[in-house]
Amino acid sequence: MIGTQFIKFVGVGSVNTVITYLLYLLLLLVLDYQIAYTITYIFGIGLAYWLNLKYVFQEKNSKRKMVLFPLVYLAQYILGILILYVSIEKWSIPKELAPLIVVMLTIPFVFILSKKILQ
């Protein structure tokens, strides 16, 4: 069961990543990378909540879940903004690619916390 859920999690996460990455690239045209990342990150939380609730864990919505779920992404955001900064400023990774590194490094962390909250 966990294997199936993790595969679904990665699948809906991929959809979420494509959508938010495209939004990030559009916002880079007019905003600093950190602001663009923050805006797309907030949008992605809402999308992730809905996709994970409906397709990965197949659970019903509740106020408790809706309140707790963003905490997963707050923790991931703090870790992510650190990885983003190091990737861009220290490792000279292009700002267009750095968010993809953040996603890859934080997937297991987000899956475990999401599962705990949504199930």
pLDDT tens, position by position, 61-114: 999 999 999 999 888 889 999 999 999 999 999 998 998 899 889 988 899 999
Q: What was the pLDDT predicted at 2?
A: 63
For the four alpha carbons of 4, 40, 81 and 119, in that order, the dihedral sign comes to negative
Is the pLDDT at 1 greater than 60, yes or no?
no
DSSP structural state of residue 57: S
pLDDT tens, position by position, 17-43: 899 999 999 999 999 999 998 999 899
For the four alpha carbons of 15, 81, 70 and 30, in that order, the dihedral sign comes to negative
E strands of the chain, at which residues? none
